[in-house]
């Protein structure tokens, strides 16, 4: 392993309390603890500003698609228990995103009310619900965000799972469907912490999918979803948009409507288009509303090191430094042929895990999320930080009182100084510092 250096004397941190963990994606070496010492004072400075505090962190995690749950549930009980403990035990994932009905990474397209007035969670009782119940048994505090890819097709103007829009005359009917879903999941012991009304509302080309403009979503929330949640005392947060950073105006325009915004907690973003700084643009327009990063995929054609470094920079560090309370990667698990998926669903999505029978391979997305989840638990507060050119970093105050820095070096080896802590950070690496 390349050398890391730590100054022998620290003014307010004791060496015995300072821990360093190094990730070198090219070597497939992650979270390796190191304590080698040096007295090199030449490093460029990183400055923490503990007097500046920003958002609290709800967590880092994945989307648990129906296909992911199916693959996990078919593991032998002891192997499944060990995997879930690794993922969701202490120092693990603290937020999950799930579909309301089918995502495009389910075996088939379905809703929970394929026929009017015939609501049932039965399509998810073999896999998704049992896996969620096992996860909650390990981490009762886990936050679960639910997102529909499409309403039941009989509620849409094209009567199809792909594309189309929600019939305005059925806004209240659909809002009641979502309320029934939240209440039915609660009876299974699964609390839905947050709901986005539509996954990728400006991308109606997937299967399932639906188009929903900001005007449509605003009207749906203020005339149906918000009032019904309020009347039925449903505490689930309503989070809008849930799509790419190239259209921050979707969230801004929706939140500009006073009758809509009173029901809305915040907005959610993906990064297939646009710039992660769009989240800060929304924050500036509506500083009282929260922000969430909810999806980014890795594909099977991607480069392990390149994907790891790009996602750490943009999804982990970029999202939180632009006020996101979550950073969620796309699907938790696929099989070796990148399924299950619906007809017309994603055929190239690489899960954080590849599960082949009883064999489990950990892919780049696993390490991307765990790079943060292992060290920054829910309830941590982001702190102000100044970094030199060529370095990306974020700083947090954890609930246990410790300060954590995630520091990324995309370029050549560098010397850094943090307060009186002097170290050498290798090329193409991520370093976690716990003070």
CA dist list (Å): 31 to 52, 92, 429: 28, 13, 11
Q: Which pLDDT does position 420 carry in this prediction?
A: 77
Specify whether the CB–CB gap between 165 and 157 falls below 8 A.
yes
Collapsed DSSP state (helix, strand, coil) of residue 195: strand
- pLDDT digits over 349-399, tens only? 999 999 999 999 999 999 999 999 999 999 999 999 999 999 999 999 999
Strands of the sheet containing 359-362, edge to edge, are 333-334, 353-356, 359-362
- Asked whether the predicted pLDDT for residue 220 surpasses 90, the reply is yes
Q: Which pLDDT does position 419 carry in this prediction?
A: 78
Q: What is the mean pLDDT of the chain?
A: 94
Specify whether the CB–CB gap between 323 and 54 falls below 8 A.
yes
Collapsed DSSP state (helix, strand, coil) of residue 39: coil
Cβ neighbours around 277 below 10 Å, total? 12
Where residue 233 falls (left for φ over 0; alpha for ψ -120 to 50; beta otherwise) is left
Q: Which pLDDT does position 288 carry in this prediction?
A: 98
What's the rounded mean pLDDT across residues 18-33? 95
- Asked whether the predicted pLDDT for residue 323 surpasses 90, the reply is yes
Spatial distance between the Cα atoms of 124 and 100, rounded to a whole number of angstroms:
10
Spatial distance between the Cα atoms of 420 and 131, rounded to a whole number of angstroms:
46
Q: Which pLDDT does position 163 carry in this prediction?
A: 98
What's the rounded mean pLDDT across residues 310-339? 98
CATH of span 15-54+382-434? 2.60.40.1180
What's the rounded mean pLDDT across residues 50-59? 98
Kindly write down the DSSP assignment for every residue of 346-412, as one continuous string: -SSBPPSEEEETTEEEE-HHHHHHHHHHTTS-TT-EEEEEE--TTEEEEEEE-TTS-EEEEEEE-SS
Name the β-bridge partners of 270.
Answer: 244, 295
- Asked whether the predicted pLDDT for residue 423 surpasses 60, the reply is yes
What's the rounded mean pLDDT across residues 61-76? 98
Fold (CATH) for 58-378? TIM Barrel (3.20.20)
- pLDDT digits over 167-187, tens only? 999 999 999 999 999 999 999
- Asked whether the predicted pLDDT for residue 37 surpasses 90, the reply is no
Q: What percent of the chain is modeled with pLDDT above 70?
A: 94
Q: What percent of the chain is modeled with pLDDT above 90?
A: 91
Q: Which pLDDT does position 10 carry in this prediction?
A: 34
Helix (H) or strand (E) holding 95: strand 95-99
- Asked whether the predicted pLDDT for residue 30 surpasses 50, the reply is yes
pLDDT band at 21 (very low <50, low <70, confident <90, very high): very high
Spatial distance between the Cα atoms of 157 and 200, rounded to a whole number of angstroms:
18
Domain ranges of the chain: 15-54+382-434, 58-378
Helix (H) or strand (E) holding 417: strand 414-418
């Amino acid at each position: 392993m390349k050398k890391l250096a730590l100054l022998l004397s620290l003014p307010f941190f004791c060496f015995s309390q300072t821990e360093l963990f190094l990730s070198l994606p090219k070597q497939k070496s992650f979270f390796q603890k190191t304590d080698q010492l040096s007295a090199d004072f030449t490093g460029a400075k990183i400055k923490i500003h503990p007097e500046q505090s920003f958002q609290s962190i709800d967590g880092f995690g994945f989307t648990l698609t129906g296909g992911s749950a199916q693959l996990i549930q078919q593991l032998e009980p002891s192997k499944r228990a060990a995997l879930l403990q690794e993922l969701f035990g202490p120092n693990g994932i603290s937020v999950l995103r799930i579909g309301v009905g089918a995502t495009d990474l389910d075996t088939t397209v379905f809703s929970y009310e394929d026929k009017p007035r015939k609501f049932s969670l039965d399509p998810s009782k073999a896999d998704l619900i049992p896996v969620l119940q096992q996860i909650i048994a390990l981490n009762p505090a886990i936050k679960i965000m639910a997102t529909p890819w499409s309403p039941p097709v009989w509620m849409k103007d094209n009567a199809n799972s792909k594309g189309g829009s929600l019939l305005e005359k059925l806004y209240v009917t659909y809002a009641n469907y979502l309320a029934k879903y939240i209440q039915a999941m609660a009876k299974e012991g699964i609390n839905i912490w947050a709901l986005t009304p539509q996954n990728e509302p400006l991308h109606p080309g997937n299967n399932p999918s639906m188009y929903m403009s900001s005007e449509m979503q605003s009207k749906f929330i203020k005339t149906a979803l918000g009032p019904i949640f309020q009347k039925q005392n449903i505490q689930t947060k309503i989070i809008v948009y849930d799509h790419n950073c190239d259209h921050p105006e979707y969230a801004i325009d929706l939140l500009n409507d006073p009758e809509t915004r009173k029901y809305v907690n915040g907005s959610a973003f993906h990064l297939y288009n646009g710039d992660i700084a769009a989240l800060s643009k929304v924050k500036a327009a509506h500083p009282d509303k929260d922000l969430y990063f909810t999806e980014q995929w890795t594909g099977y054609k991607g480069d392990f090191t390149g994907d790891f470094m790009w996602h750490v920079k943009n999804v982990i560090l970029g999202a939180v430094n632009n006020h996101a309370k979550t950073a969620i990667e796309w699907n938790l698990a696929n099989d070796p042929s990148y399924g299950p998926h619906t007809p017309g669903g994603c055929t190239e999505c690489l899960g954080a895990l590849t599960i082949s029978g009883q064999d489990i391979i950990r892919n780049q997305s696993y390490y991307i999320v765990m790079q943060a989840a292992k060290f920054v638990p829910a309830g941590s507060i982001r702190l102000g930080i100044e970094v030199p050119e060529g370095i990306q970093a974020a700083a947090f105050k954890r609930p246990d009182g410790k300060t954590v820095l995630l520091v990324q070096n995309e370029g050549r080896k560098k010397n850094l100084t943090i307060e009186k802590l002097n170290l050498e950070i290798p090329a193409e690496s991520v370093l976690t510092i716990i003070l």
